[in-house]
Amino acid sequence: MTVAERMKDKIEQAFQPVKLDIVNESHKHKGHGGYHPSGESHFHITIVSDFFKGKSRVERQRAVYALLDAELKETVHALSLVTRTPEEAGL
């Protein structure tokens, strides 16, 4: 299972998103610090979930970082996060 697949499974179980996009942007960072030879080191993740209702941007991001702690310790160097409620996303 790839890092992206593991993150997807964890996010789906924890947040039950109505929308989830995980984009591997590692190819843009090849040769730079933090790049992992697996090609799974830099990701842009958009999560739209009711879980985020009533939570600040910082609380939302902390929840995602806590959930993906193992991946961040292994190969993931950078996460760009967009965390919204369905209402904020216009859904």
Q: Contact 15/65 with Cβ under 8 angstroms?
A: no
Per-residue model confidence as pLDDT tens digits over 30-60: 555 554 455 677 899 999 999 999 999 999 9
Q: Contact 82/88 with Cβ under 8 angstroms?
A: no
pTM (predicted TM-score): 0.86
Of the pLDDT bands very low, low, confident and very high (cuts 50, 70, 90), residue 25 is: confident
CA 69 centroid distance within chain: 11
Q: Contact 6/73 with Cβ under 8 angstroms?
A: no
29 pLDDT exceeds 80?
Answer: no
Q: What is the reported pLDDT for 30?
A: 54
Of the pLDDT bands very low, low, confident and very high (cuts 50, 70, 90), residue 27 is: low
Alpha-carbon distance 2 to 32, whole Å?
A: 21
Fold observed for domain 3-84: GMP Synthetase; Chain A, domain 3 (3.30.300)
- DSSP 8-state code for residue 86: T
